[in-house]
Amino acid sequence: MAAAARARMPLDCVTLTEPEVVQLYRSKLVLVRPDGHVAWRSDALPTDADGLFARVRGYS
């Protein structure tokens, strides 16, 4: 969350428990844009969160 704040990117964290929704995303961690597009997904936190947010914002 700190990397999102540094990027001035709003971020809400939501825990999904519905099995059909969890299966739909296929990963434990998913970054979804406001328009519903999946920008990133993984089963582990990124090693470079600042780089991830720069990339999904189009800065790298």
Which pTM does this prediction carry? 0.82
Distance CA 17, CA 51 (A): 29
Distance CA 39, CA 35 (A): 10
Q: Which of 27, 22, 31, 28 is nearest to 53 (CA)?
A: 31
pLDDT at 32: 93
Domain count for the chain, please give it. 1
Position 56 pLDDT exceeds 80 = yes
* Segments forming the whole domain that contains residue 16: 2-56
pLDDT at 21: 87
Give the pLDDT confidence of 6-48 residue by residue, as tens digits: 999 999 999 988 999 889 999 999 999 889 999 999 999 999 9
pLDDT at 58: 87
With beta carbons less than 8 A apart as the criterion, state whether 41 and 26 touch: yes
CATH number reported for the structural domain that contains residue 44 in this entry: 3.40.30.120
pLDDT at 60: 67
